[in-house]
Amino acid sequence: MNKIIEKLEEQRNLESDELKWLLENNTEELRQELAQRARQVSTKTYSNDVYTRGLIEFTNYCKNDCYYCGIRKSNQEAHRYRLTETEILECCKIGYELGFRTFVLQGGEDPDFTDDQMVDIIQKIRKEYPDCAITLSIGEKSKETYQAFFKAGANRYLLRHETANEEHYRKLHPKELSSANRKRCLKDLKEIGFQVGTGFMVGSPHQTVENIIEDLAFIKALDPEMIGIGPFIPHQQTPYKDIKPGTLEETLLLISILRLMLPKALIPATTALGTINPQGREFGILAGANVVMPNLSPVEVRKDYSLYDNKICTGDEAAECRVCLSGRMKSIGYEIVNNRGDYPNKI
């Protein structure tokens, strides 16, 4: 067996030059070997279970202007929507009946949803569904605000660091946003007691191999409960419309490396991965991922939550993502389970 893979498996970490070698020698053979090891590791903790999260994309208004994102505020052509509190609760109800025990409230940074209103929504979901986990994915806030969300009953928070390198961060975001503040948010969230998810886009504009190595080191040090990575996919109404997408192969390699570095992490096979390849999510699970996030948003608004081009699950045929994913997982020998799917030892 490849010595570097052996070391990665034993020590759960590698030197930068070893990671660089893996990233620069990404052959089918290497990927298969890494994937096999990664699967073994994830099976040890999670068996062949795949956890699901019901994703509710409740607003696509956003005050930020990230250069890569289709719902950036400068995109005048985006058709904006917000779900009402009643609609959000209705999504949870449908989701609960389908078997979901985690709801992910994801949205742009929309000032129209005040902290008080978010607290209210969280409390209502908490009261109605005491056996469910509530995950938020609503961007950068103050520590006090995060604290209020936690107290209201939220359990988990997703906030991708996007890139650990300040200079690279500058190329992806306007000056109002900084890598330092993103990292501050992640630190605050951890301190408060959230199960925290971070991550980055594979093949994002101007990303170098060195950047990825920094991302891996950042993630290893943060030790998050969840890690979301997916390929960058250009959106036609953004400044980065002509940058080529990240590849399936590089994303799969990184999923396997991350699984070996953080054996117990919850790692989704993302929608972006399913968008660049019809079987991307299946390949993601086979590379060591153990979570899928079917869309629970009302079908009418799905096409509008367009972070990148050709996003899957936006047509009428996608009303039942859960059934679709359940079949997909079965086809590769994995089973979707109906529980909260917490990080081990953190309930």
Q: Rounded to an integer, what distance in angstroms lies between the CA atom of residue 207 and that of residue 215? A: 11
CA distances from 105 to 86, 89, 226 (A): 14, 11, 16
Binding flag, residue 318, ligand FES (CB under 6 A):
yes
Q: Rounded to an integer, what distance in angstroms lies between the CA atom of residue 263 and that of residue 10? A: 11
Helices and strands of the chain, counted as H and E runs: 14, 9
Binding flag, residue 68, ligand 5AD (CB under 6 A):
yes
> What residue 313 binds from ligand FES, ligand 5AD, none (CB within 5 to 8 A, per partner kind)?
ligand FES
Binding flag, residue 321, ligand FES (CB under 6 A):
yes
Binding mask 288-307 for ligand 5AD (x = CB under 6 A): -------------------x
Binding flag, residue 154, ligand FES (CB under 6 A):
no
Report the DSSP beta bridge partners of residue 157: 136, 196
Q: Which amino acid is at 331?
A: S
Q: How far is the CB of 120 from ligand FES (least distance, A)?
A: 30
Q: Rounded to an integer, what distance in angstroms lies between the CA atom of residue 138 and that of residue 159? A: 8
Within 8 A by CB and 6+ apart from 170, the residues are: none
> What residue 324 binds from ligand FES, ligand 5AD, none (CB within 5 to 8 A, per partner kind)?
ligand FES
Binding flag, residue 243, ligand FES (CB under 6 A):
no
Within 8 A by CB and 6+ apart from 156, the residues are: 102, 133, 134, 135, 136, 194, 195, 196, 197, 225, 226
Per CB under 6 A, the list member of 92, 104, 293, 313 interacting with ligand FES is 313
Per CB under 6 A, the list member of 107, 197, 230, 284 interacting with ligand 5AD is 230
Binding flag, residue 325, ligand FES (CB under 6 A):
yes
Binding flag, residue 201, ligand 5AD (CB under 6 A):
yes
Binding flag, residue 205, ligand 5AD (CB under 6 A):
no
Quick one: CA dihedral 126, 127, 129, 131, positive or negative? positive
Q: How far is the CB of 197 from ligand FES (least distance, A)?
A: 20
Binders of ligand FES in range 286-305 (CB under 6 A): 294-295
> Which residue lies nearer to ligand 5AD by CB, 263 or 280?
280
Q: Which amino acid is at 224?
A: P
> Which residue lies nearer to ligand 5AD by CB, 8 or 321?
321
Q: Which of 272, 180, 257 is nearest to 5 (CA)?
A: 257
* 3-class secondary-structure state, position 271: helix
Piece of the chain touching ligand FES by CB under 6 A; list 62-70, 163-171, 252-260, 317-325? 317-325
Binding flag, residue 324, ligand FES (CB under 6 A):
yes
Specify whether the CB–CB gap between 159 and 199 falls below 8 A: no
# binding residues, ligand FES (CB under 6 A):
7
> Which residue lies nearer to ligand FES by CB, 276 or 321?
321
Q: How far is the CB of 28 from ligand FES (least distance, A)?
A: 26
Range 205-210, long-range pairs (CB < 8 A, 24+ positions): 205/67, 205/68, 205/171, 205/172, 205/232, 205/240, 205/243, 206/168, 206/171, 206/172, 207/163, 207/168, 207/232, 208/168, 209/20, 209/23, 209/24, 210/20, 210/165
# binding residues, ligand 5AD (CB under 6 A):
12
Both tokens assigned to 109: 């940074």
Binding flag, residue 169, ligand 5AD (CB under 6 A):
no
Rule CB under 6 A: which residues touch ligand FES? 294-295, 313, 318, 321, 324-325
Rule CB under 6 A: which residues touch ligand 5AD? 68-69, 160, 162, 201, 230, 232-233, 235, 272, 307-308
